Amino acid sequence: MDNCSSIPSQVLIFNSAPCPPQNVSAEVNCLSNDLTISWDAIKEADHFLVSVIAENGGKSEYCNTTNTVCSCNVTCGNTFMVQVTSVRGACSSPHNQNHSILSAPCQPQGIRGNLDCVTNSAWISWDTAPGADSYTVSAVGGWNYIANCTTSSNTTCEVEDLACGVLYNFSVVAKNSNCESQPSDTINLQTALCSLSGITAVTQCHNSSILVLWKGEGNTVYTATAEASDHTYLSCNNTGTSCYLYGTQCDLHYTIIVSASSDQCSNLRSPPYRISMEPCPPGNVVVNATCEDRSALVSWSPSPVAETYHVVAMGVDGHVHTCNTTSSNCSISELHCGQQYDVFVTASHENCTSKASQNGTLNTGPCEPDGFWVTSYCNNQSALLSWTPSDNAVDYYGCAQAENGDMLYCHSRNPTCTIQGLDCGTVYNFSVQASEGTCNSSFSDAVQSGAAPCTPDTVDVQLWPMRMEIQVMRFNWTQITCRNTEYLLKLTGSLLGDNQTQFELSSYWTSMTYFEIPLPCGSSYSATVASRNTAGTSDPSVPLIETTAPCPPIGVVYSGNSSFATVSWNASVFATTYTVYDNSMTPKAQLCYTAGLSCSLFNIASTNLVITASNTAGESEETSVPNGGLQAPVLDVKQAMPTVISLEWSQIDAASHYSLFIRKQDSSSESQEITVYGESIILTDLSPNSTYCFSVSAEYVATRGPESEPVCVQTEQRLAQ
């Protein structure tokens, strides 16, 4: 049924495999070659199986234990792999990681030896010992005479500096990274006595010889024998107390004895004397330059006899740098940039110095470029970098670093380079370095420059009409596409064309693209606009050279009458044309337009005349023509006597005086002008029977009004007396 279930089955119990042992370690006892393995306990393990397997296929050892330690004896001179396994019932853990361990090397066998009576040394040989990495030979003689030698790969070793007439016991010990073997069986060798007194030897530097000196007796023939470190022999003999050993070679040690017998191992010999020849010229000189700090590591093959080395680096510019060392390399520093150095090495031993090695060549990196200059181009947001070429340089690398760390680069083989993609309004630190293909110079001193905005392309001016002899000008310019750009308008010029009255004006820095400045009439000016932001200031724009409208004409003179009159004036600075208007009507009527300085008028009906001066910048304010306040007087002429005429005229209020014009008809003489203060005059002494025409005009200072209508009178014949 749906709501029923069966009785549970019987419980099945099973055990999982135990975990592998942890922290397994193995140690060998060098004296007994007993190997001890230990590990951490595993709770669920019944027991442990340990296997110790020889790598060379030799005897293997096994151990079955419930403990956490196991010991076994292993053979010498072998490498063993150790494994520990946990066991629980029928299940075993996976093998733990294998452990490798060396047993002690085997004891050296077959030791043998012979004496070298010239050098008073012993050559000891033996059979290879399994498991050995190196060997040490010990020589122990009576009276605490001890000597030894060590070798890593050979099974022969020379034990030097043995004493004369001493019995030595020689033994060999093998070694590896863990243990030393038991010493080998010993052999005995007896060195001969040295009955002759000590000798002296002197190296003849660079002469391939050694002078040997001793104390001799009678006519005994003494033989000097030298054994070199390459086991070659030289000898010389003499019945005296010295002789020369010829054919010696550099870089060799020599051991010398003097004997009075042909048997070098007899007692009739001297103790050994050791000496070295001068070092050979150092070979395999290698110069490795370090670009960053202008230094170089000089290395060479070491000499077996050299005590010190002397390195010399001579530059083309005369700079010399030296260093001394006891090793086979030396570092020279503070070298000059852009130089080639010849490098050589000498080796020294005592009083002898070798000949110089073959020269090595060192080229230092180029010097940092100087004469560095940056020219920015705002139109394409680039910068041209230029500098003085560096000696030995084949490549140049320019860079521009912004304040936020962004970098831009350029590469060139010439002393110019263009960096593209500058961000307008950003300040950059520009620098350049040179490279000769291997080493780069230091960067030049940074030049700080910004991607400054461009100069405005176009500057124009909008002119307002002249007011109170002042003209307001609105200057406009093109906007620059660059963030946070400001503009400065600057004007320089002079007043009324006079170089002694110069001016200089400027706006404040503004973000607007226009600015208004007032200037007096008759001014000439040059206007420029510069732009700036945090990256720098542009060059000024192309100058806009213009003038303001001229000032009103002055010195205006009106002469004539209402029928015909002439208006004249003085020139206004920068005026190109002048216009006379009738100002009595609206709009005012133009009566005359001229480029000259006078104008003729006919049938003048108005006394309200004005004149202006103009140029391309506009028209000046008006100047009134003086006849507007000086009307023509009304003339009345009476004949008092045949040749006496009385003239009166109407008063003109603005007049200061009058001019009377007398014209005699039918006469070639010019008209006569008389200045009259008042409104009347009596003329006498006129010619009889003549016709005279009279007219009068009012005047004020330099201004003359129109003439009155002329009045003509006929004089009579004088009465007889």
| pLDDT value, residue 13 | 66
C-alpha span between 180 and 653 (Å, rounded): 148
- Examine the pLDDT at 466 and tell me if it is beyond 80: yes
| pLDDT value, residue 134 | 93
Contact status, residue 465 vs residue 618, Cβ threshold 8 Å: yes
Sequence-distant (6+) residues with CB within 8 A of 445 are 372, 431
Please report which confidence band the pLDDT of residue 646 belongs to, taking 50, 70 and 90 as the band edges: very high
Sequence-distant (6+) residues with CB within 8 A of 658 are 633, 649, 652, 675, 676, 677, 678, 679, 696, 697, 698, 699
pLDDT in tens, 648-703: 999 887 788 999 999 888 777 778 899 999 999 999 888 888 888 999 988 876 66
Sequence-distant (6+) residues with CB within 8 A of 373 are 385, 386, 387, 447
Per-residue pLDDT averaged across 89-97, rounded?
79
Residue, of 106 and 262, whose pLDDT is higher: 106
Closest residue by Cα to residue 293 from 344, 399, 365, 342: 365
DSSP 480: P
At 626, give phi and psi (nearest 5°). Answer: -60, -25
C-alpha span between 588 and 579 (Å, rounded): 11
Question: Which of helix, strand or coil describes residue 425?
Answer: coil
Question: Which of helix, strand or coil describes residue 439?
Answer: coil
Strands (E), 618-720: 618-619, 623-624, 635-641, 644-649, 657-664, 672-676, 680-683, 691-700, 703-707, 711-714
At 2, give phi and psi (nearest 5°). Answer: -65, -25
pLDDT in tens, 560-585: 777 788 889 999 999 999 999 988 88
Rounded to two decimals, what is the model's pTM? 0.54
- Examine the pLDDT at 57 and tell me if it is beyond 80: no
- Examine the pLDDT at 365 and tell me if it is beyond 90: no
| pLDDT value, residue 2 | 63
pLDDT in tens, 308-362: 999 999 998 889 999 999 999 999 988 888 888 999 999 999 889 999 999 998 8
Cα angle value 250/256/258 (rounded, 5°) = 145
Residue, of 18 and 95, whose pLDDT is higher: 18
How does strand 703-707 pair with strand 557-561? Answer: parallel
**CA–CA distance from 668 to each of 576, 663, 707, 713, 715 (Å)?**
40, 10, 22, 18, 18
Closest residue by Cα to residue 513 from 452, 451, 460, 465: 460
User: For 141-145, 204-208, 544-548, which range has the lowest pLDDT when averaged over its residues?
Assistant: 141-145
How does strand 447-450 pair with strand 427-435? Answer: antiparallel
Average pLDDT over the chain, rounded to an integer: 88
For 684, the token pair is 């006498």
C-alpha span between 460 and 521 (Å, rounded): 19
Per-residue pLDDT averaged across 183-198, rounded?
88
Sequence-distant (6+) residues with CB within 8 A of 432 are 369, 372, 385, 387, 396, 397, 398, 399, 417, 443, 444
pLDDT in tens, 398-437: 999 988 889 999 999 999 999 998 888 888 999 999 998 8
In terms of Cβ atoms closer than 10 Å to its own Cβ (0-12, 13-18, 19+), residue 57 is: exposed
For 54, the token pair is 């020889």
| pLDDT value, residue 10 | 79
Our measurement of the distance from residue 280's CA atom to the centroid of its chain's CA atoms, rounded to an integer in Å, reads 46
Share of the chain above pLDDT 70, in %: 96
Residue 334 Rama label (left phi>0; alpha psi -120 to 50; beta): left
Per-residue pLDDT averaged across 499-523, rounded?
93
- Examine the pLDDT at 626 and tell me if it is beyond 80: no
| pLDDT value, residue 629 | 57
The identity of residue 326, as a single letter, is T
- Examine the pLDDT at 143 and tell me if it is beyond 90: no
C-alpha span between 193 and 173 (Å, rounded): 29
List beta partners, residue 630: none
C-alpha span between 503 and 495 (Å, rounded): 8
User: For 83-97, 377-391, 535-549, 681-695, which range has the lowest pLDDT when averaged over its residues?
Assistant: 83-97
Please report which confidence band the pLDDT of residue 450 belongs to, taking 50, 70 and 90 as the band edges: confident
| pLDDT value, residue 117 | 84
Sequence-distant (6+) residues with CB within 8 A of 717 are 642, 688, 689
Sequence-distant (6+) residues with CB within 8 A of 540 are 455, 490, 528, 529, 530
Strands (E), 20-175: 25-28, 34-38, 47-54, 61-65, 69-73, 79-88, 91-92, 99-102, 112-116, 121-125, 134-141, 145-151, 156-159, 167-175
Question: Which of helix, strand or coil describes residue 102?
Answer: strand
Contact status, residue 43 vs residue 19, Cβ threshold 8 Å: no
Per-residue pLDDT averaged across 145-160, rounded?
89
Closest residue by Cα to residue 704 from 604, 601, 579, 568: 568
- Examine the pLDDT at 81 and tell me if it is beyond 70: yes
| pLDDT value, residue 358 | 93
The identity of residue 127, as a single letter, is D
C-alpha span between 253 and 302 (Å, rounded): 14
Please report which confidence band the pLDDT of residue 628 belongs to, taking 50, 70 and 90 as the band edges: low
C-alpha span between 143 and 148 (Å, rounded): 16
Share of the chain above pLDDT 90, in %: 47
C-alpha span between 683 and 70 (Å, rounded): 170
Question: Which of helix, strand or coil describes residue 670?
Answer: coil
Per-residue pLDDT averaged across 113-128, rounded?
90
- Examine the pLDDT at 457 and tell me if it is beyond 90: no
Domains, the chain, in order of start with CATH, read: 25-102 (2.60.40.10), 112-190 (2.60.40.10), 200-276 (2.60.40.10), 286-363 (2.60.40.10), 370-442 (2.60.40.10), 459-547 (2.60.40.10), 557-628 (2.60.40.10), 635-714 (2.60.40.10)
List beta partners, residue 297: 288, 331
